[in-house]
Structure 1
Amino acid sequence: MEADYRSRFRNWERVATVRNSPVRELAGDGELLFTPELVPAMAHPILAQATPEIREAVLVHRLYEYLKFTIDLEQSAVIPVTGHISRGMSGLDLPEGMLLDAFKIVTDEAWHAQFTYELLRDVRNRTRIAPALPDAPTFTGALTRIHEELPSEIRGLDEILFAIVSETLISSLLDELPQDTRLPATVREMVADHAADEAKHHAYFSALLRYLWPAMTRRERELAGPYIPQLIFAFLEPDYPSAALGLRAAGLAGEDVEQIMSDVYGRDRIVADVRRGAAPTIQYFVEAGALEHGATLEAFQESGLIA
């Protein structure tokens, strides 16, 4: 087992951003705070005709949404699972190197949550725009519902499966925001730091799936497998309440917000976007043999994730 695991963390002490990245503070005015092309609502005719102040505020609120999602994801979904792995409490017989690397991931993710919160605070102080966000992002409610629906005998598998899903789905934002020179250097550099660490986490969690799936009994696979598409949608589907709150807080009238939400977030478009974004993770589950089970395959087909 030790020989089968190829650690990506052997030079972690030298390259981890928590050990090497400086503390950065947001500075400068007049710059975009989020890439407009990554906010579908910005292309809607209502927003195209809105004042520059409203359009700028929409981008600020989209940045807040992204930052809050990142904080909650790291602290509520990834760190607890990785902490259990590091202490040998996952229920899996893992190589010792994976336990050691899990400690490093916990440290990385805590740092990501910290510097993300610091950026959120700096944006609020610079723009004087208060965040308009739900108490918790939608994905946390979806995870609670799934956890409560699961048969008691497999409850807990959802948590490790969601960690695998979230850590193997490299967000397009991690790739694209650092490349947008219209954004402040602080935003670009912090997102780039996050992306550099997440590349290693991606490799770790794709390896973890290769240990997890064969270790599950046939019944566990049949019970848990159909929930995987729901976990993928929980991570990738837009947070509609957060998006609507941001549009309203930016100064748009209620009826305009409803129109934008209706026009921009059509179900067919969302499913197509999720399917594209989930392609690498779906392939990992295919390679692990997850879709060889009829109920799991059917769930993926009904969700629209595969043909």
Structure 2
Amino acid sequence: MRQNPIERHFVNTYQETWETRSSIRTRPRKYIDFKENGYFFPEKKQPLLLNQEIVNLGEKIKEEILLQTFYKYLNDIINLEIKLINSACTRVIYSDLVVKYPEAIKLNACTIIIDEYYHVYVAKDMLLQLDQHYPDLKKVDYPVSDAYHAVTLIKGQLDKKYHEIFEIIAVCIFETTLVRELVEFFNSDDIHPSIRYYINDHMNDESKHYGFFFDLLSYTWQKMPDDYKKSIGEHFSDFIKLYLNINSEKKFNKDLLNDILKDEKKSISIVEDIYKGFDITPDIPIVKNVFNVLKKSSLDKDKYIKESFKKIEWNL
């Protein structure tokens, strides 16, 4: 068979993988089969179910808590992928930045935007299916994610000239430090089959995105002028701690529990007790994920990043 001229002159491995494996190119619409049994969210990933008093409320309450948590999960996807990930990729493609990206990187960023908008479409589609099946389910407020809050707060501490590059760096960190065990939890036997299928499809894309964003992180940091490295690097540890915070999760769980118990004081007390003693420290798995990415990309050797972590007494 005659080889396509494009293949001879332009080989883009990431693009070829995307063409053959991305969900939007290869998968049908995601339907929730409500005749099937199973939870909509892993109970081991919902801290409220660590409290025996809540567990004693019965199976129906447990199902409601996990359903509401899945709603939050879908809403987080919609907001994070539109407000941050696609925004960063758009900057890579179109902005006149101090880092000049090759056309191949810009092309691959286009595939990320396509994937992420598809993820938003699927999440919205599933929310509509859930709304139709559970018309009486009370809606709760979904607080701003800690990831989005972290980006906003650090940008407020940086000179405006550094904002776009910082946003790209931040998204690279998000997309390379996914909690991989989430897939394992969703693959447990008690998860609804339609949700298990959906999560695995989503993570199929995210596993490819990891490679793109890891390379983008390394390339961006390598090509940044020293003043950018200094300004962004000095805030690196603060950004990581803010990004990995659980304030958003705690607020959601307080509001959700209060909606169930109709007792705000008790709800706050239970949630505070569940999270008592939790802190972002270097020995928790997600922080280790961050450190691994920094080491693999050699960012751990950057003097400004090293000094930033030294200030909070974390050793890279």
Contact in 2 for aligned 1:236/1:274 (Cα 8 Å): no
What is the aligned partner in structure 2 of residue 186 from structure 1?
194
What is the aligned partner in structure 1 of residue 206 from structure 2?
198
Q: Deviations over 1:67-114 (max 9, x none)?
A: 111111100000011122233644423332211111111100000111
Is 1:266 the counterpart of 2:272 in the alignment? no
What is the aligned partner in structure 2 of residue 7 from structure 1?
13
Report the alpha carbon displacement of residue 206 of structure 1 after superposing the two structures with TM: 0.6
User: Which of the numbers 17, 23, 41 marks the counterpart of 1:34?
Assistant: 41
In the aligned structure 2, how far is the partner of 1:292 from the partner of 1:273? 17
Report the alpha carbon displacement of residue 33 of structure 1 after superposing the two structures with TM: 1.4
Is 1:16 the counterpart of 2:25 in the alignment? no
Contact in 1 for aligned 2:88/2:164 (Cα 8 Å): no
Query: 5 Å matches for 1:116-265?
Result: 116-127=123-134, 128-134=136-142, 136-172=144-180, 174-238=182-246, 239=248, 240-251=250-261, 253-265=263-275
Distance 1:292 1:273, change over 3 A: closer
In the aligned structure 1, how far is the partner of 2:312 from the partner of 2:27? 40
Contact in 1 for aligned 2:50/2:274 (Cα 8 Å): no
Is 1:48 the counterpart of 2:67 in the alignment? no
Report the alpha carbon displacement of residue 281 of structure 1 after superposing the two structures with TM: 3.0
Contact in 2 for aligned 1:57/1:250 (Cα 8 Å): no
Backbone CA RMSD of aligned residues: 2.6
Contact in 1 for aligned 2:74/2:123 (Cα 8 Å): yes
In structure 1, give the amino acid aligned to 2:194. Answer: T
What is the aligned partner in structure 2 of residue 107 from structure 1?
114
Contact in 2 for aligned 1:69/1:137 (Cα 8 Å): yes
TM-score (norm: length of structure 2): 0.85
Distance 1:176 1:287, change over 3 A: closer
In structure 2, give the amino acid aligned to 1:57. Answer: E
Distance 1:101 1:293, change over 3 A: closer
Distance 1:293 1:96, change over 3 A: closer
User: Which of the numbers 274, 285, 290 marks the counterpart of 2:299?
Assistant: 290
Distance 1:172 1:301, change over 3 A: farther
Which of structures 1 and 2 has the bigger CA Rg?
2
Distance 1:120 1:172, change over 3 A: farther
SS at match of 1:244: helix
In structure 1, give the amino acid aligned to 2:82. Answer: Q
SS at match of 2:15: coil
In the aligned structure 2, how far is the partner of 1:229 from the partner of 1:116? 32
Identity %: 19
Contact in 2 for aligned 1:174/1:194 (Cα 8 Å): no
Report the alpha carbon displacement of residue 185 of structure 1 after superposing the two structures with TM: 1.9
Contact in 2 for aligned 1:248/1:254 (Cα 8 Å): yes
In the aligned structure 2, how far is the partner of 1:56 from the partner of 1:173? 22
Contact in 2 for aligned 1:79/1:109 (Cα 8 Å): yes
In the aligned structure 1, how far is the partner of 2:61 from the partner of 2:68? 11
Contact in 1 for aligned 2:81/2:116 (Cα 8 Å): yes
Report the alpha carbon displacement of residue 292 of structure 1 after superposing the two structures with TM: 3.7
In the aligned structure 2, how far is the partner of 1:172 from the partner of 1:47? 27
SS at match of 1:10: helix
Report the alpha carbon displacement of residue 180 of structure 1 after superposing the two structures with TM: 2.0
In the aligned structure 2, how far is the partner of 1:46 from the partner of 1:298? 45
TM-score (norm: length of structure 1): 0.87
Distance 1:43 1:101, change over 3 A: same
Q: Deviations over 1:192-215 (max 9, x none)?
A: 111000111100111111111121
Which segments of 5 or more consecutive residues in structure 2 lack a partner in the other structure? 1-10
Aligned residues: 302
What is the aligned partner in structure 2 of residue 87 from structure 1?
94
Which segments of 5 or more consecutive residues in structure 1 lack a partner in the other structure? none
In the aligned structure 2, how far is the partner of 1:203 from the partner of 1:220? 24
SS at match of 1:237: coil
Distance 1:67 1:169, change over 3 A: same
Distance 1:44 1:301, change over 3 A: farther
Distance 1:159 1:94, change over 3 A: same
